[in-house]
Structures are given as C-alpha cells and as structure tokens.
Amino acid sequence: MAALAYECWTMKLNRSKLYQRVAASIADGIESGRWATGTRLPGERDLAEEYKVSRPTIREAMIALEMKGWIEARHGSGLYVTHRDSQGGLREDALNLDIGAFDLTEARILFEGEAAALAAVSITAEQLAELDGIAQEMSDPAVANAALFDADHRFHIAIANATGNAAIRSVVEYLWDLRTRSPLCANMFDRARRNGVNPRFDEHRPILDALHARDPHGARSAMRRHLRGVVDDLLEATELELLERARHELDARRDTLARRLEIGPD
C-alpha cells in the first residue's frame, strides 16, 4: 500500500504542473514581445486574474522564472524582464522544478489533517508523552533554528505514526521529503527562513491539546489551521524578500548618487 502511494504521487508529479504552464505562458509573452526586456510585469493580482489561478500559483511561477533568470525584482516596484530567448520561448519541461511549497502544503493540509483526526482516536499514552517532549523542545527559546525544524519534522511524523497506519506514515514522510528534494519547494522555504519564518510552538499547541483530549474533529481543525498559517507565512515571506531586495538596491543607488554629488569644484 505504501508503494502504491509513492507510485500515485510520482505519477502526479510527473505531469505538467499549473505553475509550469503559467510560467511557460509568461515566457512566451516575453519572447513574443508582449513584455520587452527591462519592462515591468503586471502585478500579481492582475496575472492571477488573467490566468484564472490563485496568487500562490502566480508566486510559484514567478519564483520559477526568477530561478531560471528570466525576471528579477528591482526598483522597488515589482518584477522586471531580464531575459529573452531567441530559441522560441521556454518549454514547460524546462521549468520543471518539481513542486512548489504551496502545492506541497495544500497536500499536507489534506493528508495531515486526516492523520491528526485518526491519531486522536488511536494515540497511546507513550506517543502522547513523545509529542509532549518534542513540544517542550519547540517551546525553548534557546533552541537553534536548525533544531526547531528538526523538532517540527519529528512532531508531524510522530502524529502520522500514531495513526497506526504504515501507508499514512509513508505518505506523510514522502511529503516532508519533498521539502528538500524539490528545488522549487526548497527555494521557497529557504526564502521564508531568511525572512524569519520558523516553526512556532504556539501553532502546534492546539493540535497537541486536541490529541490529549482525543478529539478527532478538533485535531483535524487544528492541523489544518496550522498548515494554512504556513501558506500565509510563505506568501508574506516571499513578498517581503522582494521588497527587501528592492530596498537594498535603492540604498545602493542612493550611496552611488551621494558619492557622485560629492565630486565637484571646491
């Protein structure tokens, strides 16, 4: 059953992904001259409306194009075209950076929400004690970021293990592996970490409380709430990074201008 779960996920991931189709279409627009090199792309909301997709999908497409060198953030006003390919645009398969953090987290909401509900009715006292210990680690302000991420991983895997279902545990482990195995996903989580997004104990406490109460509905809701918060954090962090990079560029330009203005007759 676990092998079947892996096979199903592999087949799904090998299909063309929505962010790839959007990114390839934008690259075609750049190549056809709709957006010339140096021009600003439309805003995220406008692109989402044009392509009839969500903001997270547009964000993943933009990061994929940025990773491939087609666009960049600058001037504090958005994303600008930096590249045109005389070979005829960018194929979808050339944009295959596996899946992004938003798609991954959406899958986690589905799987881990149900895993938490099942765990609530089957978890043992020993497994609750294990989760309490991990939660204690996460609540320690002296714990380094790397250790926090390790504790976060162990917390979620422990819940999957508490379901008593090997296939569920295998799927949850696979989803967590994708965080580092998928280039686009790893890039997005790295951006979030650089902007101070770390696992927080207060986000996990409601999950743990529901498990102690052996409340499947509460555990499901708490897990889904927590993971929706991850999506919100990722959206904010990737947006903040664009703004921060633009701010650094503006500061550099101001410094250059100040130096130039100092040159002149005494």
Instruction: Give the integer Cα–Cα distance in Å for 141 and 67.
Output: 34
Per-residue pLDDT, 7:
43
Instruction: Give the integer Cα–Cα distance in Å for 60 and 77.
Output: 19
Per-residue pLDDT, 122:
96
- Which domains, ranges and CATH numbers included, belong to the chain? 18-95 (1.10.10.10), 101-239 (1.20.120.530)
Q: What is the pLDDT along the chain (266 residues), one digit of tens a residue?
A: 444 444 444 434 444 588 888 988 998 888 888 888 888 898 888 899 999 998 888 888 888 888 888 888 765 567 889 876 545 445 544 455 677 888 889 899 999 999 999 999 999 999 999 999 999 988 887 777 778 889 999 999 999 999 999 999 999 999 999 888 888 888 888 877 777 777 778 889 999 999 999 999 999 999 999 999 888 888 887 775 554 554 454 455 555 555 545 555 54
**Neighbouring-strand partners of residue 79:** 73
Per-residue pLDDT, 186:
85
Per-residue pLDDT, 209:
97
Helix 55-67 to helix 18-32 angle (10° resolution) is 60
The answer to whether 199 touches 37, Cβ cutoff 8 Å, is no
**Distance, CA of 37 to chain centre:** 28
| pTM, rounded to two decimals | 0.66
The answer to whether 229 touches 58, Cβ cutoff 8 Å, is no
Select from 58, 78, 124, 32 the least CA-distant residue to 245. Answer: 78
**Distance, CA of 173 to chain centre:** 17
**Distance, CA of 186 to chain centre:** 8
Per-residue pLDDT, 231:
86
Q: Which residue pairs from 241-247 have beta carbons closer than 8 angstroms and sit at least 24 positions apart in sequence?
A: 241/191, 241/194, 241/195, 242/73, 242/79, 243/76, 244/195, 245/73, 245/74, 246/73, 246/74, 246/75, 246/76, 246/77, 247/76
